[in-house]
Chains A and B, each alone.
Chain A
Amino acid sequence: MELINNILYDTIYHSTPIILCVTGGMFAYKANVLNIALEGMMLNGAFISTLVMFFTGNLPLAVFLAILTTLVYGLVFSFMGITCKGNVIVVGLAINLIVPAIAGFVMKMMETANINLKNVNITKYKINIPLIKDIPIIGSILSGHPPITYLAFIGIAIFAVLMYKTRFGIYVRVVGENEDSARSIGIKTGFYKYAAVLIGAFCCALAGVNLSVERLGLYTNDMTAGRGFIAIAAIYCGQGEPVLSSLYAILFGVARSLAVNLSIYAGPAAGLFDIIPYIIMVAVLAAVSIVKHKNVKVRGFKC
Chain B
Amino acid sequence: MNKKEGIIRNILNSILPIFLAFVIGGVVIACIGENPMETYWILLKKSFLSSTGFMNTLHYASPLILTGLAIAVTFKADLYNMGVEGQMLFGGFFAGIAGAYITGMNPFLHKFICFAAGVLCGMAFALIPALLKAKCRVNEMVVTLMLNYAMAKALEFLSTGVFRDLGSGYVATPIIKESAMFSRFGRSRLTMFFVIAVIVLIIMYVVMKKSKLGYEITAIGKNSEFAEATGMNVAKKTIVLMLLSGALAGLAGAGYMMSEQFKYTLNFSGTPGLGWDGMLIALLGGHSPGGILIAAIFYAALKTGSDNINMYTNVPKEIVALIQGLIILFLAVKFISERMDLKGRRLHNGTDQ
Contact = CB atoms under 8 A, between A and B. Distances in A.
Given A86-B333, A104-B318, A282-B143, A301 B325 contact: no
Nearest to A83: B333
Interface stretch (B44-52, B117-125, B153-161, B183-191): B153-161
A274 B158 CA distance: 13
Interface residues of B, number: 53
A271 B330 CA distance: 40
Interface in B296-347: 316, 318-319, 321-322, 324-326, 328-335, 337, 346
Contacts of B272: 96-97
A102 B139 CA distance: 34
A101 B328 contact: no
B332 A293 contact: no
Given A289-B137, A300-B234, A233 B154 contact: no
Contact of A93 (B141, B150, B154, B280): B280
B321 A97 contact: yes
Contacts of A91: 329, 332-333
A271 B156 contact: yes
Contact of B332 (A87, A105, A271, A275): A87
Contacts of B139: 236-237, 285, 289
A80 interface: yes
B145 interface: yes
A90 interface: yes
A233 B145 contact: yes
B137 A278 contact: no
B172 interface: no
A232 B144 CA distance: 12
A84 B324 contact: no
A232 B145 contact: yes
A90 B160 contact: no
A301 B328 contact: no
A260 B338 CA distance: 53
B137 A301 contact: yes
Contact of A97 (B153, B325, B333): B325
B37 interface: no
Contacts of B141: 233, 236
Nearest to B82: A229
Interface in B137-186: 137-139, 141-143, 145-147, 149-150, 153-154, 156-157, 160-161
A271 B157 contact: yes
A94 interface: yes
B136 A278 contact: no
A278 B332 contact: no
Interface residues of A, number: 53
B329 A233 contact: no
B35 interface: no
A181 to B, nearest CB: 10
Contacts of B235: 299-301
A108 B150 contact: no
B38 interface: no
A230 to B, nearest CB: 8
A63 to B, nearest CB: 25
A271 B153 contact: yes
B147 A272 contact: no
Interface in B250-292: 271-272, 276, 279-280, 283-284
A272 B157 CA distance: 6
A293 B322 contact: no
A76 B147 CA distance: 30
Given A105-B316, A275-B153, A279-B150, A98 B329 contact: yes
Contact of A98 (B156, B160, B224, B326): B326
A274 B322 contact: no
Interface in A214-267: 222, 226, 229-230, 232-233, 236-237
B30 interface: no
**B132, B142, B147, B157 — most chain A CB neighbours (10 Å):** B142
Contact of B136 (A233, A268, A279, A293): A293
Contacts of B145: 229-230, 232-233
11 contacts: A80-B332, A84-B335, A85-B334, A86-B333, A94-B325, A104-B316, A271-B160, A281-B142, A282-B132, A285-B143, A300-B227
Given A97-B328, A237-B139, A275-B157, 14 more contacts: A80-B333, A85-B337, A86-B332, A88-B332, A97-B321, A101-B324, A236-B141, A268-B161, A272-B157, A274-B153, A278-B150, A285-B138, A289-B139, A300-B228
Interface of A: 76, 80-81, 84-91, 93-98, 100-102, 104-105, 108-109, 180, 222, 226, 229-230, 232-233, 236-237, 268, 271-272, 274-275, 278-279, 281-282, 285-286, 289-290, 292-293, 296, 299-302
CB-based closest 9 A-B pairs: A86-B332, A98-B325, A300-B228, A97-B325, A94-B329, A271-B157, A101-B321, A90-B332, A86-B333
